[in-house]
Amino acid sequence: MYATIVARDNLLNASSASTEVSATPWASLDVTIQPDYGRIATQTTERTAITSTTTNGGFGSALAIGDFDGDGDIDLAIGQPAAGGIGSVAVFDAMTGGSIATLLSGNPAEQYGAALAAGDFDGNGTMDLAIGEPAGTVGQVYLVEVTSSQQIARLDSLSVGGAFGRSVAVVGDFTGDGQVDLAVGEPGYNGGAGRVRQYDGATRTETDTVNGVSGDRFGEPVVAIGDLNGDGRGDWAAAATLAASGSGYVSLVSGGTAIELARINGAFAGSWFGQAITVTDGLIAVGAPGAATGALRPGGVAVFSTTDTTIVWAYWGDLDGARLGSALLWTDDLNGDGHADLLAGAPEAAPGATTQGAVYVLSGIDGRLLFRIDPDGSASGSRFGATLARIGDDIIIGAPDDDRGASGAGRVSLQKLRRLARQAFPTTSGTLAVTATPAVSQLEVRINGGPWQLTPISSTLAVTTPADGVHNVEARGVDSEGHRGSVTNTTVRIDLATPVTAWISWPVSATTVSGSTALTGAVTDATSSGSAGMLAAEWSLGLSTTTGWRWHNGYAVTAPEPFWFTRETTGPVGFTLPTTGPGQWQIRLRGRDGAWHAGPVTSVLYEQTP
């Protein structure tokens, strides 16, 4: 655990303290405990929502944020590509919900607003919009000044049926002229091979093109990834979701040279790997909404290093048909472990009795489920979580088929993040960081009402607590004359004991099973009665071969336990072993407690017949 201790004295310095012995000192210590690792409970509440009344308009199909009216506040642009058969983009003040502008196209049935990206295209310091209109004969992208609704420029394609503008990204500076440039996806080009076209943002001329292979649909989506190769130019990533029978791949491309820097291949046929892509410092998250696990097809997310494209972790959904990974967005650190966390949309999820959609919030460091955002009162088929954005502590979630305004009209929810107290510290001892005014010469610290321990002032102070449980830590300052300041205190929850795992029902090891077999395990923890205790059960499933483990997620590795599938739980965890074909399978189980200790692994090895 870490804390900051501040001690002050009304005496100006140590020398005055020795002469003005009659002075009454004032000492105040402000103790804050910040553990090196633990868990902050987080939840959301809907702050406001914007609901469309246009039947089957698809309001919320695309989102973009930026200061579009120049008032210094971030605004929200929402695509409604089927509005009135033409399409529109509505721009709102994100704080008040007030309308700023409504942008319209005069082209019927061409899906104006299907893709959005924000950038300053005219150099006046205010953000403009790039608006994709991919369903026309050739497809177009409009660059628009929002408040005046004036068109700055239009980008056109000469390829019939190419769906030019299905995705649009504002990608740094390709050309080195200081102006933001664009990458535009055209996934239907050349019979569905697809391509991405780069444009100079100042001249609006095409500078380079990267082509896909027949049937790949390369360029849906395309996203900015910063300067990946360090050449000072903006780079981008694009997916070919239908490549290799739908296994898909993601290509990382240099904006300066239009040369592929690296490629990440999907591992599941039909997974649509690359349907969503988002990048943070050193990590790229890729959605695979069609990914299957056993007999289920919940979708999932895989996170890779941008340095060498090795996999870091993966998370597969728990609701069949949810299409988890259809939308992705990195956020700030929500659980206090020092790493950005990840939002993952599952627009076909059925968390209740109907298919409404959901948003999963995953730990950026290891992929564990932190919490899930379920829709508030939306009807079946709303596709809540189809699109994602974030402004400050507001998570913006699109539900383009929501029926509350009209049938299929769409709705956008602004959810306010609330961070709650940390649940547990992972060790019984830690270090306090100490700051004090010159007049304070020593500190006194005690734990659980025990004796005061006098400690010299230093930059750090070691504090040890007796055992697991809740402990009270008190501190006060002492000046050179022995005057003691007022006491400040805080409570800390310590959780050192690891959880216990056990099987309740399972096939006898090394026996043969046929078809699906039920298996139930339990995870428990010694401190489960407090705010610590069990948080999750984790399991992994592998196929034993002569070359090592081939894990059920499809990524071949040689080291055991490369990552784990995580489920929040407070009781037994049940599984049905999938019918995966003949072979020798092993399933492993372990628990995680409130301090995120991993319990010992217990496993079962069995033979499965067709």
What is the H or E stretch that residue 18 is in? helix 14-19
Please give the residue range of the domain that contains residue 101: 59-158
pLDDT one-digit tens code per residue, 28-39: 333 333 333 334
Q: 277, 250 in Cβ contact below 8 A?
A: yes
291 with 393, same domain?
yes
65 with 126, same domain?
yes
What is the H or E stretch that residue 474 is in? strand 469-479
271 with 345, same domain?
yes
409 with 287, same domain?
yes
412 with 482, same domain?
no
State which of 375, 391, 421 marks the end of a domain: 421
Phi-psi region at 19: left, alpha or beta (left = phi > 0; alpha = psi -120 to 50)? alpha
Chain mean position to CA 40: 15
515 with 593, same domain?
yes
Residues 17, 18, 22: CA angle, nearest 5 degrees: 70
Low-confidence ranges of the chain (pLDDT < 50): 1-41, 420-424, 529-532, 545-563, 579-580
277 with 381, same domain?
yes
485 with 390, same domain?
no
User: Where do the H-state alpha helices sit in 449-514?
Assistant: none
Angstrom distances, CA of residue 288 to CA of 132, 265, 270, 293, 309 = 24, 11, 9, 12, 16
pLDDT at residue 432, as a whole number: 53
272 with 385, same domain?
yes
State which of 421, 455, 484 marks the end of a domain: 421
Q: Is the pTM of this model over 0.85?
A: no
Determine, yes or no, domain membership for 52. no
Pairing of strands 512-514, 602-609: parallel
CATH (domain of 63)? 2.40.128
State which of 379, 394, 421 marks the end of a domain: 421
pLDDT at residue 555, as a whole number: 33
Chain mean position to CA 199: 29
Buried b (16+ CB within 10 A) or exposed e, 83-105: beebbbbbbbbbbeeeebbebeb
526 with 446, same domain?
no
Q: 439, 445 in Cβ contact below 8 A?
A: no
Total domains in the chain come to: 4
Nearest to 240 by CA among 167, 343, 181, 293: 167
532 Cβ contact partners less than 8 Å away, ≥ 6 residues apart: 423, 424, 468, 493, 495, 525, 593, 594, 595
294 with 374, same domain?
yes
572 with 459, same domain?
no
Determine, yes or no, domain membership for 1. no
